[in-house]
């Protein structure tokens, strides 16, 4: 279980597209296809693609379901620990300000080591 550097952004940009990067990994699709899909979802909802409602609806419509992480230790349960506790999960992990792809034996995929961030909820594909 570890951090794996992952950046499918065609221009290798590092800021502002964590939702697109994470969904791209979790759905095994290109950054471009993911961006277009989430952008169209935002257009249909008259909201920005980075809105939790927009990308959440996009995931929901692609067979993902959201689960809240119990806050028994709201400041000490980290992304790294969540991945270690859930090595079978492939999906999306969300903090208050960031989104991370998780999967493949408890690894987490991001442009920086976000393992010390505190997760709030996660999305898992149900089909």
pLDDT per position as a tens digit, 23-61: 999 999 999 999 999 999 999 999 999 999 999 999 999
Q: Strands of 91-94's sheet, edge to edge? A: 3-5, 107-110, 99-103, 91-94, 121-125, 64-68
Q: What is the pTM of this model?
A: 0.93
Place of tokens 């929901």: 60
pLDDT tens digits for range 62-110 = 999 999 998 887 678 999 999 999 999 999 999 999 999 999 899 999 9
Q: Give the residue-averaged pLDDT of 101-120.
A: 95
**CA–CA separation, 28 vs 45, rounded Å?**
24
Ranges of each domain in the chain: 15-125
**CA–CA separation, 90 vs 92, rounded Å?**
7
């Amino acid at each position: 279980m570890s951090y794996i550097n992952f950046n499918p952004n065609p221009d290798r940009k590092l800021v502002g597209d964590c939702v697109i990067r994470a969904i791209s990994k979790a759905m095994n699709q290109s950054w471009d296809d993911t961006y277009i899909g989430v952008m169209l979802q935002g257009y249909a909802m008259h909201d920005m693609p980075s809105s939790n409602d927009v990308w959440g609806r996009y995931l929901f419509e692609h067979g993902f379901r959201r689960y809240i992480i119990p806050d028994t230790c709201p400041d000490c349960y980290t992304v790294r620990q969540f991945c270690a506790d859930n090595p079978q999960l492939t999906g999306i992990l969300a903090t208050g300000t960031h989104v991370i792809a998780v999967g493949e034996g408890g690894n987490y995929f991001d442009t920086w080591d976000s393992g010390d961030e505190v997760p709030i909820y996660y999305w898992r594909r149900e089909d």
